[in-house]
Amino acid sequence: MRFGVFDHLDRGPGTLREDFEHRLMLGELYDRHGFYAYHQAEHHSTPLGAASSPSLFLAALAQRTKRLRFGPLVYTLPLYHPLRLFEEICMLDHMSGGRLEIGVGRGISPHEVRFYGLDPATVQAQYIEALGLILKMLASEGQELTHHGEFYHFDAVPITVGPVQAPHPPLWYGIARPDGVPWCAENQVNVVGNLPAGPMRAVADRYRQEWSALGRSEATLPMIGTSRHLVVAETDAEALALARRAYLKWIESFMYLWKLRGGIPPNANFPPTWDDMAARGQAFCGSPSTMRDILAKDIPASGINYLLCRFAFGEMVPSESKRSVELFVREVMPAFAREAVAA
C-alpha cells in the first residue's frame, strides 16, 4: 500500500503567493515522510486551479524536494503543442533526477477547452494524436520526426533531447468506469478514480482481470488509486469542524465555472457539503484512531493499492493542513506499513 497526494491547488484564504508557498511547504513535508508522489491537477480561468501551468509549479517543487515523485494529473494535452510539451517533460525529468510522473487526458471541462478556441467534440481525437506523438518523441532522441495527421504536422524535426526515464516517465490516467481499463492495462498505465468504494472496486477488479489475461503477475501490477479528502485532528469534533469549513470554499471553487457557464461536471459531480461527501465515502475526517479504522475498511473495499490524499483544500491555512499531515504520518500511515509487512 502506497500513499500519495492529489491537489487541485485551489485558491485558499491567503494571497496567491501564499497559496503557492503553502503547497511547496507541504511538498517538503511529503518528501520527508515517505509519500510516493504529489499529483497536481490542471485547470484554467477558475479558482479551482491556481497553478494553471503544472510544469512551472512542478519545477519549483523539484528544487524543494529530494525523493518525492511528482507530476500533473493530468496535462490537458489538447491545450499544448506536442513538441513544446515533450521538451518540458524532458526538462522536468532531468531537473528532478528522474522523478516525473506524467498524467494525460483530454480535459474534463468543456468550458476550459473552449477558452482556448477548441471544440469539445474534437478534443478526444486531438488528445489521442498528441499522446501518440509525445510518446514517440520521448523514445526518439537523436532521430527526426515526420508526421502528418489531422491536427499536427511535422517535417523532419530533430529530436535532440530525451527523458531520464526510458522509454518515458510512468503514465497516469484518470478513470471513471471499468470500460476504460483495457487500454490502461495493455499500456501499463497507472489509474486514479474519484470514486466511492463500490465503483472503484469495479475498476480495480477489471484492471486485475485484464492484467492477468495479458500474462502479467500481480507483483508488477501498476498503481490503482483513488483520491480522498482527508482531515486529521486531535479529536473527531475538531476534524469535522475544520473539514466542514474548508470544504465549503473548495466546492465553491470546484463549481465556479459550471455555475457561471452552465452544465454539470462529468464523472466528478461532488455534493454541496462535507457531510454529503462523507456519506458517499469520498471524504474522511477524524482523530488518528478514527482515520485508521475508516481506511482499514475503505482501502480493501475499494480494491486499491494506492491512496491519494487531499490534505490541503478550501479554507485551510498552512498550520491546519500541516498538522493534519503530521498526525497522518505519525499515527495512521505506520499501521498500514505494518499490515503490508505482515501480508
| Beta bridge mates, 40 | 7, 72
Sequential DSSP letters for 194-232 = ---HHHHHHHHHHHHHHHHHTT--GGG---EEEEEEEEE
pLDDT at 342: 41
According to DSSP H, which parts of 65-180 are helical? 82-95, 110-115, 123-138
| Beta bridge mates, 284 | 230
Q: Which three cell numbers stand for residue 30?
A: 511529503
Residue with cell 469520498: 282
Residue with cell 507483483: 219
pTM equals 0.96
CB atoms within 10 A of CB 298: 19
| Beta bridge mates, 192 | 174, 225
pLDDT at 187: 95
Domain 2-73+175-342 fold is TIM Barrel (3.20.20)
CA dist 320 and 197 (Å) reads 27
Question: Where exactly are the structural domains of the chain?
Answer: 2-73+175-342
In order of 52, 87, 170, the CA distances from 84 in angstroms are: 16, 5, 19
Q: How far apart are the first and last CA of the chain?
A: 11
| Beta bridge mates, 153 | 148
For the stretch 258-306, pLDDT in tens is 999 998 888 777 999 999 999 999 999 999 999 999 999 999 999 999 9
Are 195 and 280 a contacting pair, CB within 8 Å? no
CB atoms within 10 A of CB 102: 27
pLDDT at 269: 76
CA dist 90 and 203 (Å) reads 31
Residues of the chain scoring pLDDT < 70 = 338-343
pLDDT at 338: 55
Residues with Cβ within 8 Å of 12's Cβ and at least 6 positions away in sequence, in order, are 18, 19, 22, 249, 312, 314, 315, 316, 317
CA dist 318 and 142 (Å) reads 45
